[in-house]
Amino acid sequence: MKKPMKKYATILLVIIFLLLVLIGVSQVDDLQAKHSNITHEELWIVTEKTVSDGMNYQAKLAVDMLQETYPNTKIVLDILPVDTEQRAEYLANLRDQIEAGTGPDIFLLPTNEVLTLDEPQSYTYIQIDPLFSNVAIEMRRGTFADVNSMFSRDNSIDKQLLNTSIMEAGIVDKCQYVIPLRYDAPVIYVFEDMFGEYGIDNNIFSCGFDEWMQVVSQTQDPVLACGAEYTSIHVFSELIDYDSPEVILSSAKLCDYLLAFQTVQGLIGREVSHRTPANHIGYLSGTWEPFPVQIAELSHAIYYAAIAKSENRSLAMYPLRTVEGDPIAYVTYYAAIASYCKNPDLAYAYISILLSEEFQWGKERPLPATEQYPGLVESSWPVLSYGSVAPLWDNLKTQMDIRYRTTDSELSEKLESRKQDILNTSLEDTDIPIIYEKYTSVVFPFMLSKRFDAILSELNDFSNNNIPSDVNIKELAEEVIEYLRVELQA
């Protein structure tokens, strides 16, 4: 009887062993199935040079995280050169590779053609020829892959926290060709205790920007005029219909705006301090003071909100509306996958890391704060907007926790008190409700913006108290329209 029992026991052990093996195989199969679309080959990412703790820092950190998950994958992070000659040669080769379908897998790029660097010294500005001069055109040219299906099934991102109106800027014909990562928007900041003295209804800020300019011109007030200066070509919602394609901005509409701008500039004169937005350096050193109305970017909203709250002042924020009445915003940094990419799921896995709270809300920025470039990452707001204010403010307070010294003891005491008050101020999303704005005009800036600035500068003679110049405004308008036509041929 012992032998049969021993035989059965042996059989039972074999069965248990086989079951354990099958369970283990099943778990491995489940894990492999979860990542079945990802191949462990090579991923090539191109990006622009940034300050040390800017997008380069995030890009490298994301590479490390992805590399840890996929150790057998070769990941190449390529930072484009900024030297003019090197860049020209490199971009020429890169564009040939893209055309041939052998170029980079991921494009992680800014929309600004002026890079801010911290070498050879802080606040070094470099004008560049961008890899893609017009993202809107590239989305329709077949350069980028549609990532809609990957984005839709990505449960690692709380999509309810995303500003959907910004995300939709990367969609053409229901295809998500571009993933916006960061954005900015012009905001009209109104200190209501100061603005109230003018007796102007705040409803004016719900109208097109040109109507606000007209109201200011009627007051003939130089201080108020400082809050009506906006120099972007994107003050118009309707520039180009990329699907037609045709230029839809009319010369007549542009002429009207140029005339209004010229009048406002004449009122402002040679005053320039209004062009400096609220920031912790100016506020804590006593060199920045508020205007009744000031136009600055959304990326500075956190400073305006903190200053107003710490001083118990009433502050209103309004989105700057285009001449057509649309709240306007623009993408500042984006990611896109090449249409020829052989590993789109792996490429999207990389982009998904950049959309996480840790990256979007600056939780991974290097410490101490002396290692950080002042302000938000890439001086713009994260597209994961909702819930962002408190963590962003916590980070900025570490930057602000510095001492300003002055030989004037009375001033020093005042500034120290100001610093402590603002450091003790807490901020939540409700303090900056404009982050919930649903923008009806979201654009990818293109190179005409710099040329438009130059044209605006011809309208007035700054050396002669900014009086209107003797220029042919109709000819200037036609010049802008012609640049738009050329843009369509790019």
Of 105-119, 186-200, 327-341, 406-420, where does mean pLDDT reach its minimum? 406-420
Residue 10 clears pLDDT 50, i.e. is over it? no
Using CA atoms, how far apart are residues 381 and 360, in angstroms rounded to an integer? 9
Residue 2: predicted pLDDT: 40
What is the identity of the amino acid at 437?
E
Residue 75 clears pLDDT 70, i.e. is over it? yes
Using CA atoms, how far apart are residues 146 and 474, in angstroms rounded to an integer? 42
**Is 257:455 a contact under the CB 8 Å cutoff?**
no
The single residue listed with the structure tokens 């962002």 is 388
State mean pLDDT over 262-279: 96
**Is 238:249 a contact under the CB 8 Å cutoff?**
yes
Residue 451: predicted pLDDT: 82
Of 28-42, 218-232, 318-332, 347-361, where does mean pLDDT reach its minimum? 28-42
What is the identity of the amino acid at 10?
T
State mean pLDDT over 474-488: 92
Confidence of residue 240 (pLDDT cuts 50, 70, 90): very high
Residue 490: predicted pLDDT: 67
Residue 160 clears pLDDT 50, i.e. is over it? yes
What is the identity of the amino acid at 95?
R
Confidence of residue 30 (pLDDT cuts 50, 70, 90): very low
State mean pLDDT over 378-398: 97
Using CA atoms, how far apart are residues 371 and 365, in angstroms rounded to an integer? 9
Residue 404: both structure tokens together: 């300003």
Using CA atoms, how far apart are residues 436 and 381, in angstroms rounded to an integer? 12
Compute φ and ψ for 282, nearest 5 degrees: -65, -40
Instruction: Work out the angle at residue 323's Cα, subtended by the Cα atoms of residues 432 and 436, and round it to the nearest 5 degrees.
Output: 20
pLDDT, one tens digit per residue, over 163-177 is: 999 999 999 999 999
Longest dimension (CA), the chain: 117
Using CA atoms, how far apart are residues 366 and 368, in angstroms rounded to an integer? 6
Confidence of residue 14 (pLDDT cuts 50, 70, 90): very low
State mean pLDDT over 289-311: 97
Residue 408: predicted pLDDT: 52
Q: Which of 269, 272, 310, 265 is nearest to 291 (CA)?
A: 272
369-378, 411-420, 433-442: range with highest mean pLDDT = 433-442
Average pLDDT across the chain, whole number: 90
pLDDT, one tens digit per residue, over 111-159 is: 999 999 998 898 899 999 999 999 999 999 999 999 999 999 999 999 9
**Is 467:268 a contact under the CB 8 Å cutoff?**
no
Of 75-79, 80-84, 258-262, 445-449, where does mean pLDDT reach its minimum? 445-449
Using CA atoms, how far apart are residues 93 and 443, in angstroms rounded to an integer? 28
Residue 62 clears pLDDT 80, i.e. is over it? yes
Using CA atoms, how far apart are residues 479 and 481, in angstroms rounded to an integer? 5
Residue 315: predicted pLDDT: 98
The size of the chain, in residues, is 490
Any residues with CB less than 8 A from the CB of 263 and at least 6 apart, and which? 213, 217, 468
pLDDT, one tens digit per residue, over 410-422 is: 557 778 888 899 9
State mean pLDDT over 452-457: 92
* Radius of gyration in angstroms for the set of CA atoms belonging to the chain, rounded to a whole number: 27
Residue 40: predicted pLDDT: 55
Residue 19: predicted pLDDT: 38
